Amino acid sequence: MSRVFNFSAGPGTLPEEVLQQAADELLDYKGSGMSVMEMSHRSSWYDDIHKKAEKDLREIMNIPDNYKVLFLQGGAHLQFSMIPLNLKNSGKADYFITGNWAKKAYKEGAKYLDAKAVASSEDKQFTYIPKLDESALRSDADFLHITTNNTVYGTRISEKDIVCLDNVPLVADMSSNILSEVYDVSKFGLIYAGAQKNMGPAGVTIVIVREDLIKDTDSLVPTMLQYKTHSEKDSLYNTPPCYSIYICGLVYEWIKKNGGVAAMQKINEEKAKMLYDCIDNSKLFKGTVEKSYRSLMNVNFVTGSEELDKKFIKEAAERGIANIKGYRTVGGMRASIYNAMPVEGVKALVEFMKEFEAKNA
């Protein structure tokens, strides 16, 4: 068996220990005589998995008691719709447009609400985080939506740069950087993330929502799209994505064992620095976003020649550095260095970049 260093943006790499444990437990989960995939979601076996996953996530993110943790389906995309459908009150919402996912959330929100783009960096291909002026925010908005990490272009809003009004719930899409750095959950009304970037397999979406935001919706909102439905039944209203939740639970245990989110953040900062230093000291490779807004998770770079980019991607793959190709509309290279990417993987990439530069610059 040989595993590559997988720099895929999503689904992303998972900790090898987690995959190994899942393999060990695949046929017979802890003496139950069956796989987690085959279990009733009403069984006590599964109930323990479900409850422990929630408990561990609460612990590692330090989630206050007045927040619900929901395990839902439909990806981050469905939250683009569920958020406006459930949080609608005045019928206004503000959106901070810092990337293509943020823009998609805004466009979907505009179907249900008076959605306002309060700032955007689209003028420069989302390569920076624009200044968000408080005077652009509406005090009667139902929420302000932000995307903490711009997966495609590789920028990030750090917690200190978040501007919001006290009485307006802050809603954050953390799909590509949840659990990668410490955030104070109490500053948010709602946090959501598709699991498949930094947390587990595709199929489950985590929603962390302050209890007062869970309320009755318009009667035409489908039952399955109401937070209340899932909140009242602890995400067991219908069959949840049991196996994906089980793997997420193993990832939470792995994070706990490795020192928690603060320890992840420290390693992530080191990994990102190694890669950005290599780019900044290179005569061949160039970063594509403004330095002060660089993502810790998705590192974009180019050679300036499409041909050389292609050659780099091909030769990297030949030596086990996989999925380093940039997003289809962006081109160049993108190295996604989520929690589960070991330091050795980043070292291997940096070494290869230096070698490639020596041969091709």
Ligand X SMILES: *Cc1c(COP(=O)(O)O)cnc(C)c1O
Residues that bind ligand X (CB under 6 A): 10, 75-77, 101, 147, 151, 173, 175-176, 194, 197
* Least spacing, CB of residue 173 vs ligand X, in Å: 5
173 belongs to the catalytic site: yes
* Least spacing, CB of residue 304 vs ligand X, in Å: 26
Return the number of the residue (94 or 173) whose C-beta is nearest ligand X. 173
Of the candidates 57, 82, 89, 93, the one whose C-alpha atom is nearest the C-alpha of residue 212 is 89
What number of other Cβ atoms are within 10 A of residue 257's Cβ? 11
Q: From the candidates 88, 101, 142, 309, give the one annotated as an active-site residue.
A: 101
* Least spacing, CB of residue 341 vs ligand X, in Å: 16
> Which amino acid does the sequence have at 296?
L
Q: From the candidates 88, 197, 271, 325, give the one annotated as an active-site residue.
A: 197
Q: From the candidates 142, 173, 271, 309, give the one annotated as an active-site residue.
A: 173
* Least spacing, CB of residue 149 vs ligand X, in Å: 6
Q: Tell me how far apart the alpha carbons of residues 192 and 207 are, in angstroms, rounded to a whole number.
A: 4
Return the number of the residue (77 or 286) whose C-beta is nearest ligand X. 77
Return the number of the residue (105 or 250) whose C-beta is nearest ligand X. 105
45 belongs to the catalytic site: no
> Which amino acid does the sequence have at 322?
A
* Least spacing, CB of residue 273 vs ligand X, in Å: 22
The token duo for 96 is 């901070």
Return the number of the residue (85 or 278) whose C-beta is nearest ligand X. 85
The token duo for 359 is 């041969």
Of the candidates 68, 88, 296, 279, the one whose C-alpha atom is nearest the C-alpha of residue 191 is 68
* Least spacing, CB of residue 205 vs ligand X, in Å: 6
Say how many Å lie between the first and final Cα of the chain, rounded.
35
Of the candidates 76, 155, 163, 81, the one whose C-alpha atom is nearest the C-alpha of residue 122 is 155
Return the number of the residue (29 or 126) whose C-beta is nearest ligand X. 126
Return the number of the residue (39 or 178) whose C-beta is nearest ligand X. 178
Q: Tell me how far apart the alpha carbons of residues 126 and 63 are, in angstroms, rounded to a whole number.
A: 31
Q: Tell me how far apart the alpha carbons of residues 337 and 197 are, in angstroms, rounded to a whole number.
A: 10
Of the candidates 207, 179, 181, 180, the one whose C-alpha atom is nearest the C-alpha of residue 193 is 207
Residue 335 DSSP symbol: E
* Least spacing, CB of residue 356 vs ligand X, in Å: 28
The token duo for 143 is 């929420």
Return the number of the residue (8 or 175) whose C-beta is nearest ligand X. 175
Q: % helix / strand / coil in the chain, to the nearest 5?
A: 40, 15, 40
Q: Tell me how far apart the alpha carbons of residues 352 and 236 are, in angstroms, rounded to a whole number.
A: 47
Cβ atoms of residues 161 and 169 within 8 Å: no
> Which residue is listed with tokens 């230096």?
354
- The torsion region of residue 92 among left (phi > 0), alpha (psi -120 to 50) and beta comes to beta
| Active site residues per annotation | 101, 173, 197
